[in-house]
Structure 1
Amino acid sequence: MNILILGDIYGRPGRNILKEKLPQLITQYEIDFTIVNGENASGGNGLTTKNAKQLLSLPIDVITMGNHVWQQKELLETIADFPQIIRPLNYPDPCPGKGYDIFEYQLKTEETKKIAVVNLSGQIFMPALDNPFNAMLPLMEQLKNSADLIIIDFHAEATSEKIAFGYYMDGFATAVYGTHTHVQTADERILAKGTAYITDIGMTGPLDGVIGVDKEIILETMLTKRPKRFETATGSVQINGIILAIDDIENKVTKITRLYETFEETK
């Protein structure tokens, strides 16, 4: 099977380009299962209930989140209504939503694959959540016995923390991929014990901005050191992510491929 994973959807441009291009990508790359990060999908800052419904009306199976998960306060009340949304596992208890779940996908052979999707937030230069390494420990035996594939979105700032976590999960997780920085890295590989890894899969949204924000606003704040309201960039857009080719017998990634496509602005 082929799994498509797309980087942080940013604002209306990210939502619009997915609506326009996602069905085409799924056909082109023969995608069976799709995961997106949605923590910036509403104005670049969180996810509203309305936008969650909009994204899930597309061929998207799972939405992972990150440090902006609660920026749209309504999601605190409505996240339980969306079993497809996974927030960082290492938020302190009690916490709305869930940090992982197991989703079922039926292959053309009629065999059912159980796909565990886990979301974690890093600690370096990030909000002080529980240690993500320790947060995984209670889950590992459970997932090993109940899931065929284990996919982890590690939402973190520091490349060192992401790489370390990739090695920590090598041989356990099917794939570990980084999100949050909105800049795609070129280090995709399969680690020594079989786990597919990339430090950051990039973003889906404005290309002609600074990680999604209007570039003139960012330049002004950097030059003046005075705050200014962020606005979503306009212009060309991009879709960033990865495609995982899975051996259906061994449940291992045989190939990890970066996806980077650009398009003219969509309305």
Structure 2
Amino acid sequence: MADTISIFFVGDIVGDPGIEMTNTFLPSLIKKYNADFVIANAENSHEGFGTNRSIVKNLLNLGVNVVTGGDHSFDKWKIFDYMRENDHILRPLNYPKGNAGLGFSIFPVPNKEDIKVGVLNLQGRTFMKAIDDPFTAAEWALEKMREETNIIFVDFHAEATAEKISLGWHIDGKASVMVGTHTHVQTNDARILPDGLGFITDAGMTGSFDSVIGMDKKVSIKRFMTGVHQKYRAAKGDNQLCGVFAKVDIETGKCVHIEPVTYPGLTNTEGS
């Protein structure tokens, strides 16, 4: 059997409940899946919006190699200098030039430093901010990264499922794994596309499921019923860690296995 690298991805970490779940269970999950490389999306980790230095450093201490972001990457300005100084925290590449941070980088794999993994962060445009084209940005970045490695992981932070699926087909054969983030609901379509891209429309979130996508239920319902802005706050209760586990052939860069992960797992309640 061909040599593979195991990659574990933690879906959007939302507020303190998400951090608590990650702190408590990620180290054991890394061992369970024998993960060689770990990526976590933390753009909602600080109070539900943005992140900060202490959270990023904590994730690194837990075994995370790269932290990705999305439309809340720039919500907390104190992180900007840290983003400029370090490549282990990424933000979507297709924001206009001049913004802090990097959209992609290439990383040696711990204990396998002759192997490198490229990680690319992108953001969609459908129902989201008007920024640069993620498809063109992906083409340019993937070409650059493939000069150094054929093992490439893409976090596409987007609202529309059609946009995520379209990008998946567009980069099939050019990247190893693409996970969708942002909608916080794990999808049931993990699969390997014909040219070797491991794909899932959304990895889900890490945080409270006694909530509306991680936020307090009452506030969310009130926003919909009144049509008036209410300040969101992170919910608590029924905490889960959602993510994706994938294996990639080291020689070809093709995904050979992909599966969604939900821990400890949702409970189905049936009426009597």
Into which bin does the TM-score normalised by the smaller protein fall?
A: over 0.9
Structure 2 unaligned residues grouped into runs of 5+:
267-272
Structure 1 unaligned residues grouped into runs of 5+:
none
List per-residue Cα deviations over 1:35-61 (Å, max 9, x = no partner).
000100001100122222222221100
Of residues 2, 6, 16, the one that matches 1:2 is: 6
Contact conserved, 1:38 with 1:64, CA < 8 A, in 2? yes
Aligned alpha-carbon RMSD (Å): 1.6
List per-residue Cα deviations over 1:65-114 (Å, max 9, x = no partner).
0000110111223212332101100011122110100001155xx56211
One-letter code aligned to 1:135: A
- After TM superposition, the score normalised by the length of structure 2 is 0.92
Q: Which residue of 1 aligns with 2:182?
A: 180
Distance 1:263 1:231, change over 3 A: farther
CA distance in 1, matches of 2:86, 2:17: 23
Q: Which residue of 2 aligns with 1:160?
A: 162
Identical columns (%) = 39
Q: Which residue of 2 aligns with 1:210?
A: 212
Q: Which residue of 1 aligns with 2:79?
A: 75
Of residues 70, 73, 76, the one that matches 1:66 is: 70
Contact conserved, 1:39 with 1:68, CA < 8 A, in 2? yes
In the alignment of these two chains, the number of paired residues is 262
- After TM superposition, the score normalised by the length of structure 1 is 0.94
Of residues 16, 21, 36, the one that matches 2:20 is: 16
Contact conserved, 1:243 with 1:256, CA < 8 A, in 2? yes
List per-residue Cα deviations over 1:2-36 (Å, max 9, x = no partner).
10011100001111111111111011111111000
CA distance in 2, matches of 1:188, 1:140: 22
One-letter code aligned to 2:120: V
Q: Secondary structure at the match of 1:209?
A: coil
* 1:92 is the counterpart of 2:81: no
Correspondence list, 1:1-267, <5 A: 1-106=5-110, 112-262=114-264
